[in-house]
Amino acid sequence: MGGRRIIGDIGGTNARFAIAEGGKYRELMHVEVARFGSLHDALTDYLNGLPPALRSGLDGALAVAGPVFGDKVTLTNLGWSFSISDLHRSLGLGSLKVVNDFAATAMAVPHLPGADVFPVGPRTPEAAGPIGIIGPGTGLGVSALIPDGRKWVMVAGEGGHVTLPSASKEEDAIIEVLRKRWSHVSAERVLSGAGLVNLYEALCTIDGSAARALTPADVTRYAIGGTDLQCVRAFSHFCAFLGSAAGDLALTFGATGGIYIAGGILLQFKEAFASSPFRERFERKGRFAGMLAKIPTCLILEESPALLGLAHLPLAG
Ligand SMILES: Nc1ncnc2c1ncn2[C@@H]1O[C@H](COP(=O)(O)OP(=O)(O)OP(=O)(O)O)[C@@H](O)[C@H]1O
């Protein structure tokens, strides 16, 4: 696992930095990314605030919300880009590894304590096999963990950008409205913070009512409080679409080890999520419903699973 390392989970809205050693992390700091012009500036600010003894001899492991192929990395929802080798040099780190944020989240799953996992749907017997991870936040992250003897192989793609599937007439109508805004309606267009607002606005269009200017947090607040019908329906559709996408992920990877849901949004509404159409839609896969019924689905309660994954990430290779 290596020595002491600075770790960072850089999302489209928030970044979290910490110092990890022996698979555990401390000195956690939350940062709003909009406060900084670059990742280098945000990391330097964090490092400068650490006790001097902690600053030296560090390796680095960072998780970013965007694809990581080669040296140049661009964060999908943020507009920051950087060169891994330049950052490695300018921060004076022993080594620096950068991975996709959902790859890091996947790495955390085998290390999650039971108290950090909230089952959604029926209790299933002890599960084994591939694991899928999906999480709506600023964007929609998707990844998988494949068992390989005593190790796990992580797979991080761009599953948030797959075409959004419809499973009902009302979902057909929502997608038709959204297709007027985007020729390709990806899963992320509804399964994200902005996606909650897109769903709310699409439902207003379908109903012929004027949409108010709401934030994602307004939509969930009015939905949970039951004070706005379109918000109630938007949250319900959000959970149903997530059930479809999670079921597709389970089928694609044969994820008999379970589907884990990450991301900051649902953490706040776990009871409402558990009683939503999510699980019914997860299992509604025609002839394969029986296979899906045996697959556990759960919410990850650990607030920064990517950090836990980075604390365990092998730095070599
Ligand atoms: N109470 C809420 N209800 C609904 N959406 C919310 C709520 N609070 C925050 N959000 C939305 O959640 C998103 C941020 O999610 P998260 O906390 O997982 O951040 P992130 O790590 O920056 O995301 P990502 O890693 O996907 O870029 C934003 O779109 C924000 O508007």
Shared domain for 98 and 151, answered yes or no, is no
**In the chain, what percentage of residues exceed pLDDT 70?**
98
The reply to whether 75 and 53 lie within a common domain is yes
List all residues whose CB is within 6 A of at least one atom of ligand 1: 11-14, 65, 77, 101, 137-139, 141, 192-194, 196, 216-217, 220, 263-265, 268
Pairing of strands 14-21, 59-64: unpaired
Give the model's pLDDT for residue 14: 86
- Atom 29, ligand 1: which residue's CA is nearest? 193
**CATH code of the domain covering residue 186:** 3.40.367.20
Tens of pLDDT, residue by residue over 143-168, are 999 999 888 998 988 899 999 999 99
**Domain count for the chain:** 2
One domain, residues 99 and 127 = no
Domain-located, residue 314: no
Res 1 pLDDT > 60 = no
Statement to judge: residues 159 and 273 lie in one domain: yes
Judge if 289 and 240 occupy the same domain. Answer: yes
**pLDDT in the model for residue 163:** 97
CB 263 within 8 A of CB 136: yes
Q: How much distance in Å is there from the Cα of 11 to the middle of ligand 1?
A: 9
In a domain, 310, yes or no: no
Residue 264 lies in a domain: yes
CATH of the domain at 72: 3.30.420.40
Whether residue 12 is annotated as binding a ligand: the answer is yes
Query: Does the annotation flag 10 for ligand binding?
Result: yes
45 is in an annotated binding site: no
pTM: 0.91
Q: Is the ipTM of this complex over 0.90?
A: yes
- Structure confidence by residue, pLDDT tens digits, 96-149: 999 998 899 999 999 999 999 999 988 776 678 999 999 999 889 999 999 998
Residues spanned by the domain of 224: 113-301
Is 195 marked within a binding site? no
pLDDT for the residue numbered 13? 81
d(CA 193, ligand 1 centre) in Å = 5
Residue nearest to atom 3 of ligand 1 (CA): 217
pLDDT at 317: 63
CA of 150 to the centre of ligand 1 (A): 34
d(CA 102, ligand 1 centre) in Å: 15
Domain boundary (104, 137, 160) is at: 104
134 in the same domain as 29: no
pLDDT tens digits, one per residue of 261-313: 998 899 999 999 999 999 999 999 999 999 999 999 999 999 889 999 999 99
* Cα–Cα distance list, 77 to 36, 62, 138 (Å): 15, 17, 7
Q: Residue 93: is its pLDDT beyond 60? A: yes
CA atoms within 13 A on the CB side of 280: 9
Between CA 314 and CA 299 the distance in angstroms is 25
Distance 266 CA to ligand 1 centre (A): 9
| Residue 309, domain member (yes or no) | no
Q: Which atom of ligand 1 is nearest to the CA of 9?
A: 21
Last residue of a domain, one of 74, 104, 134: 104
Query: What pLDDT, on the 0 to 100 scale, is given for residue 223?
Result: 98
pLDDT tens digits along 201-258:
999 999 999 999 999 999 999 999 999 999 999 999 999 999 999 999 999 999 999 9
Is pLDDT of 77 > 70?
no
122 Cα–ligand 1 center, Å: 27
Residue 123 pLDDT: 75
Listed residue (74, 93, 68) closest to 7, CA to CA: 93
Atom of ligand 1 nearest to the CA of 194: 29
* Residue 312 is assigned to a structural domain of this protein: no
Q: What is the pLDDT of residue 284?
A: 97
Dist CA 53 CA 50 (whole Å):
8
Closest CA relative to residue 220, chosen from 268, 164, 177, 187: 268
Q: Report the residue among 35, 134, 138 best suited for mutation to probe ligand 1: largest number of ligand atoms under 8 A from its CB.
A: 138
Q: Is residue 244 part of a domain?
A: yes
Domain check: are 99 and 117 in the same one?
no
Q: Which of 153, 129, 106, 17 is nearest to 300 (CA)?
A: 106
pLDDT for residue 65: 85
Residue 308: strand, helix, or coil: helix
Identify the residue whose C-alpha is closest to ligand 1 atom 2. 217
